[in-house]
Structure 1
Amino acid sequence: MSINRERLAAVFTTLCEIDSPSKQEGRVAAYLKSLFIEMGAEVFEDDSASRTGSDCGNLFIRFPDGGLDREPVFFNCHMDTVLPATGVKVKRDGEVFTSAGDTVLGSDDKAGIAALIEVMRTLQEQNIRYSPVEYIFTTCEEVGLLGVKALDPSNITAKMGYALDSSGSNRVIVGAPAANRITAEFKGIASHAGLNPEKGINAIHLAAKAIARLKLGRLDSESTANIGVITGGAASNIVPESVLVQGEVRSHAVRLLEEYTEHIRSAFQEEVDNWSDPGGNVTGSPALDFKIIPDYPVMHLPRKSAVIKRVESAGASIGAELDYVVAGGGSDANIFNSYGIQCAILSTGMEKVHSTRETIKLSDMARTAELILAILS
């Protein structure tokens, strides 16, 4: 089995130069539908757009009869990219791909899509028998895993699969944390900052004191917490009436996720409850609107699970030394696993993602394609 590396490079470049920021994946979806229909696939687009706000649904690409009687398997990539992602121009220097420097490259996650296209072309051209396979291309992964959360898992035939969505080379992600997103609105009372400051309640000051009570950063070997966004205030001469604080908690242990989330909630609430007006000038008191939004569930795959044993065998067959690691972030794989469908994450070689310095090597993309070939055949 031999991957056509230059064809892989060409498809990757084409994909990256089709703009597809989150909720605008339609052009990439149309390209993929046309391409896979020509390759003889069963192509299905779901109705998730009505729930995600995207201009297209998730794509299900099925090749049910490859002539090999093995357990069906699926591969997943997301079609969207983070910003800035308009007018991407791919630059190549030997093995290395970058953007022109003013946008992301889009290897997250189009390197995986390109590898899947090249794998199927190789299988068909070389008449290689392969197991039943489906490709699942999701929308809106970068803005909360919206596409995979909106799909109907009964549309998935396979009971195991792989998300192609990690940096590094020859890595298999077997675990990832659960996460809660947090929004907290501190509500004070507006007043003129120069004439009547004592009649106001400064929401920013209240929020700042509450945040100062928190444990943030790496909390233990399994957990992290962060306050990432603070917005509020109207003008420098107005005691701010409201401030919105946004953050997150992640943990590989559900118990710890709940404990650290409660730590933030209780610290914020106590600061509001303990507020006092020693001068007795304020009519009213502060308030807190605290919301917890479960972002994604924890993911853990035992080394003896079928999906790990399959990639382990495939890696051995091509002499690939795979590293089995635990990740610090969530992906579509977390949601697939929550549906009861085993899904590990495979690296594609992308580096410095979510930045205009994003890069990937052709050799890493080819290595990913070779591993996929081995999994299927």
Structure 2
Amino acid sequence: MLNQERLVETFLELVQIDSETGFEREIADHLIKTFEELNYHVIEDDSQKDTHFGAGNLIVNIEGNESKKPIYFSCHMDTVTPGKGIKPVINNGVIETDGTTILGADDKAGIAVLLETLKVIKEEKVDHGPIQIIISVGEESQLVGAKAFDSAYLTSEFGYALDSGNKVGTIVTAAPSQAKIEVTITGKTAHAGLEPEKGISAINIAAKSVSRMTLGRIDEETTANIGRFEGGTVTNIVADSCYILGEARSLDQDKLDRQIAHMKEVFEATAEGMGGRAEVNIIPSYPSFNVAEDSDVVKVAYQAAENVGLSPVTKKSGGGSDANIFNSYGVPTIVLAVGYEQIHTKQEKMPISELVKLTEQVLEIIKLV
């Protein structure tokens, strides 16, 4: 039923439209035009007033058979950097770049699949229930578009985010919550060669703090990391300030809270013991979700995958997506794997076969609901 050549052409067209996070205007305008050409009304929300990004989130409401359950599908339109001037090439059935940029399959592969799905539905007159399409901005920047999304727009019973790098057929039913930890260490400046004993090195405090805390894989549900460490200007001055940015994630909120408390305590106690001061700011990023495997949203996805010849598996993820936010709005949402590879790198790849498989799965979901 689907048109593979058209699907690939749509994907190639999308990835060549620059849309790095915060600069989504061009891709948003293109998508609005595309949906309108399919005779669908597009709503662009007012989330820009909160995000200050290039566009708002897009919502498309498609009328359908009212005896069927209303469902939604979501993707995001932004990409990471370097994502300007993408030049896709096809090698042996795999779409990649010339090696100077990312590809942007995360998440334009998902958008291409949804557009092909809608075209097939029209052409084949597929019987379907009410469908919502939600395409967000700023997903790659701590899910800011989804966070600014007005949940009143979300009228579906359940939904699917097309945004995971596993093989198509993989169904993500759980993902962790995340919190950032931002720390400023204050010490005391002094000449590093003449009287270093009069100084208190903020860098030394920070380094000892990090060495004393538990990081990395904490347990099967929890991770923690220090991702940014900045301090000092020149070698002959004892640095009196140091900035650290870290994070923790867990599928269990209590475990996340304990890990963040541990990191905060180590920074503060180490700084105090060395005569400095640690100012610690905890920033919640997004909540976790855990959708029961016997729920309708999972059972439909699983059955759809089997119906199109896939071998479905469910798994828990270590990363966040817009699904974390939409679940917090009370609408059960799981993540469908798209099949892209090595995302966020210049070696990113999109096998055409995975694009086809996901389109088939999405079409089957729509038929089953």
Amino acid at match of 2:310: A
Q: Distance in 2 between matches of 1:12 and 1:61?
A: 19
Question: What is residue 278 of structure 1 aligned with on the other side?
Answer: none
Q: Equivalences for 1:81-160 in 2 at 5 Å?
A: 81-160=79-158
C-alpha displacement at 1:315, in angstroms? 2.3
CA drift at 1:192: 1.9
Cα distance in 2 for residues equivalent to 1:193 and 1:241: 12
Return the offset for 1:199: 2.2
- SS where residue 81 of structure 1 aligns? coil
Q: CA deviation at 1:274?
A: 1.2
1:165·1:347 contact (CA, 8 Å) conserved in 2?
Answer: yes
Question: What's the RMSD between the two structures over aligned residues?
Answer: 1.1
Q: Distance in 2 between matches of 1:126 and 1:92?
A: 29
The letter of the residue matching 1:126 is: E
Give the secondary-structure state (helix, strand or coil) at the position aligned to 1:142. Answer: coil
What amino acid sits opposite 1:328 in the alignment?
A: G
What's the counterpart of residue 248 of structure 1? 247
Counterpart residue number, 1:282: none
- SS of 2:229's equivalent in the other structure is strand
Runs of 4+ in 1 over 4 A off after TM superposition: none
By how many angstroms is 1:312 displaced?
2.2
2:273 is equivalent to residue 274 of structure 1: yes
Contact 2:293-2:299 at 8 Å conserved across structures: yes
Give unpaired runs (5+ residues) of structure 1. 276-284
**Number of residue-to-residue matches in the alignment:** 366
Give me the whole-angstrom Cα distance separating, in 1, the residues matched to 2:44 and 2:79: 19
The residue type paired with residue 368 of structure 1 is L
d(CA) in 2 for partners of 1:267 and 1:288? 10
Cα distance, 1:110 vs structure 2: 0.3
Residue 75 of structure 2 corresponds to residue 77 of structure 1: yes
Assess if the C-alpha contact under 8 Å between 2:164 and 2:338 holds in 1.
yes
Q: How far does residue 310 in structure 1 lie from its aligned partner after superposition? A: 1.8
Q: Tell me, yes or no, if structure 1 residue 329 matches structure 2 residue 319.
A: yes
Question: In the alignment, residue 234 of structure 1 is paired with which amino acid?
Answer: T
**TM-score after normalising by structure 2:** 0.97
Structure 1 residue identity aligned to 2:229: I
Q: How far does residue 190 in structure 1 lie from its aligned partner after superposition?
A: 1.7
The whole-number CA distance in structure 1 between the counterparts of 2:290 and 2:74 is: 18
- The one-letter code sitting in structure 2 at the alignment partner of 1:52 is T
What is the aligned partner in structure 2 of residue 175 from structure 1? Answer: 174
For residues 158 and 123 of structure 2, what CA distance do their matches in structure 1 show?
26
Corresponding residue for 1:17? Answer: 16
- The structure 1 residue matched to 2:163, chosen from 162, 165, 172, is 165
CA contact (8 A) 2:227 2:246 kept: yes
Cα deviation 1:90-115 (Å, max 9, x = unaligned): 01113100011010000000000000
1:355 equivalent in structure 2: 345
Q: Partner of 1:55 in structure 2?
A: 54
The one-letter amino acid of 1:329's match is G
* 1:130 partner letter: H
**Deviation, structure 1 residue 244:** 0.6
* Distance in 2, Cα, partners of 1:149 & 1:250: 18
1:195 CA drift (Å): 2.5
Shift of 1:368: 0.4
| Structure-1-length-normalised TM-score | 0.95
Are residue 301 (structure 1) and residue 291 (structure 2) matched?
yes
Structure 2 match to 1:189: 188
Q: Measure how far apart 1:306 and its partner are.
A: 1.8
CA deviation profile, 1:303-326 (whole Å, cap 9, x unmatched): 111211221232233232211111
SS in 1 for 2:74: strand
Residues 125-146 of structure 1: CA deviation (Å, up to 9, x unaligned): 1111112111100011111100
SS of equivalent to 1:345 = strand
Contact 2:268–2:279 (Cα < 8 Å) also in 1: no
Cα distance in 2 between the residues matched to 1:133 and 1:269? 51
1:257 maps onto 2:266 in alignment: no
Does 89-98 or 309-318 show the bigger shift? 309-318
- After superposition, give the CA deviation of every residue in 1:314-349 in whole Å (9 maximum; x if it has no partner): 223323221111111011001111111110000111
1:68, 1:129 within 8 Å by CA — same for their partners in 2? no
Does structure 1 residue 37 correspond to structure 2 residue 75?
no
Task: Give the superposition deviation at 1:68.
Answer: 6.3
Alignment identity in percent?
Answer: 38
1:30-78 residue CA offsets vs partner (Å, 9 max, x unmatched)? 000001011111210001111112111000012123x463111111101
What letter is aligned with 1:244?
A: Y
